[in-house]
Amino acid sequence: MRCTKSARSRLSTALLVGLLTILADQCSKLTALHFLSPGEPVNLIGQVLRLNLTYNPGMAFGLQVRGVLYLVLLGVFLFLILMYLVLRRSRSSPAFVVAAIGLGLGGAVSNLIDRLRLGAVIDYIDLSVWPVFNVADIALTAAAILLALHLAVARKSLGDNQVESSEL
């Protein structure tokens, strides 16, 4: 597959954001492993925000799924889809879309690293009213929200253009 300069630039941006996401997530997890013990939460803001080391064998936010192989394959599939989006579909997309794809890549790969290395994902951010999560989960959620907003705006824009052309 031959990449244009624009595609290489988008790919470089997405990979850089992804690598920074992996670095931030893995460093924060190593810090959590060093300073926290499972079952001994540390209150930061009362019971509202705590650091609580857990090992999540399921999906993001504690959703349970059987089989590490299934989750690894899901991560690889997500990675391939996001790479396709970077190389083929983001030609005219704003920079934040490429950055969102990088966040998604970084979050997926970082949690995949944990899963392959430990058989579970290290989680430690506890809001008490939400399942315990990590930086990679934040990146994945931000990516999903940004991409959904972009698609909603693009769909509305496409709909407006169709209305305008049908009125002519």
- To the query of whether residue 137 is one of the catalytic residues in this protein, the response is yes
Catalytic residue among 25, 114, 126, 137: 137
In the three-class reduction of DSSP (H, G, I as helix; E, B as strand; rest coil), residue 11 is classed as helix
- Secondary structure letter of residue 132 according to DSSP: -
Q: How far is CA 115 from the centre of its chain?
A: 15
32 phi, psi to nearest 5 deg: -60, -45
Question: What is the distance between the alpha carbons of residues 19 and 41, in angstroms, rounded to a whole number?
Answer: 29
Q: Is 25 a catalytic residue?
A: no
Active-site residue among 25, 123, 126, 160?
123
Give 19's contacts (C-beta < 8 A, 6+ positions apart): 106
Instruction: Enumerate the active-site residues.
Output: 123, 137
